[in-house]
Structure 1
Amino acid sequence: MAARTPRISLAGSSALLLDGAEGAFDDVTQERVWAVANAALALEGVHEAVPGMNNLLVLFDPLATDAHSVGAQLTSLWAGTDARAVGGTHRTIPVHYGGARGEDLAGWAAHCGLSAEEAARRHAAATYTVAAIGAMPGFPYLSGLDPQLAWARRAVPRLKVAEGAVIIGGAQAGIMPITAPSGWHIIGHADIRLFDPQAASPVLLRPGDTIEFAVAGIEA
């Protein structure tokens, strides 16, 4: 099936945003985003391509090229580049669900029509893919959440969500890489360092990595 023509819009004077899908997140579209991101780096004047959730931010040097030229080339790449998965690393991450560091577990489970134990086990049963890194350093947007476990983000964000918090936001799952504000729901905690500014590679996860959560405990 041919890829739909993406919507491309200006994002400032030296960047373009390519939207690859309308409506719900699509894994095939995300694989095309990854492929086009890699190909876009070879375009004259382009110096960075940042995948998002079914979208792609492309930054270019306005002294070397222009938005019209880059946009036309991105449209051509989107039509002519095959979607393909990125070969990533698989990780298993133990999670302590509920308790003081997973305060939304009970409310989330009730929203899903499940017991706390069943909601936690279903969350851990899926295999997730790191679709994109963004919002804050090292934050993984994870696709693969069971649709029954989705829950719209909080109307009022918390001002402080701890590093390692395992969270749900709409149809996506995530893990907090630093302590920061967030409107996502906190269902547990993982003792993992996703962002270390002193490390040679500061960000642990990459687009295309896969994750499984292991139940280390459930405190309803």
Structure 2
Amino acid sequence: MGGVNMSNVKRLLILGIAAGLAFSVMGNTAAGFNLGKVLNKVGVSTTESSEEPLYEGEPADGTRENGMVYNAEVHGWYDEKTGALLSRNDAEARRMPAPPGPTTAKCDLIYGIVKAGREDLEVRLENNLLILKTRGSLWDGGTGEKGEISIILPEECKKGVVYKPKADHYFTFDKPNRDGPVTLVRHEGYVIGFDTER
């Protein structure tokens, strides 16, 4: 009587599961192994997954943006050059556009940290810590892969600082009026982080 040899089916299933686990452990989501194809060859039906994004507003698989590639299987962004999975905060910082028009500014601290405040913001360096003194709120941002400030500076934001931990310098900046340019001033000094003072 003709039919499927059950020992071959079991062998294929065990090999398929073992290979799938090995690829999963290695973190290789694009390994090209498809257990569904193996199962289809032995007469077991599978359902195809929908190609619609799982989350509303999720980019399509393979979307390239600012040196990153989106992987829909892990719902995350990978760095194009290194292949490293980026944290949600790092990916959002890279996706955030630089401010339009005259508020755009660039410096040599790529992927640096931006802290901005109102006109009362004072910045000083003590024991390798930037001390930020203000009565108001601080806005957080960063610099992109070309050193551009990627923070939308609201009208009330007048002063700020750009630094990168373990760099030997930092920048302060002024934005005197809404449409005026951002002026960066370089300061020498080894910076490991920041603290606030009221």
- TM-score tier by shorter-chain length is under 0.3
Structure with higher RCO (Cα < 8 A, 6+ apart): 1
TM-score, normalised to structure 1's length? 0.20
Please identify which structure carries the higher helix content: 1
TM-score, normalised to structure 2's length? 0.22
Please identify which structure carries the higher strand content: 1
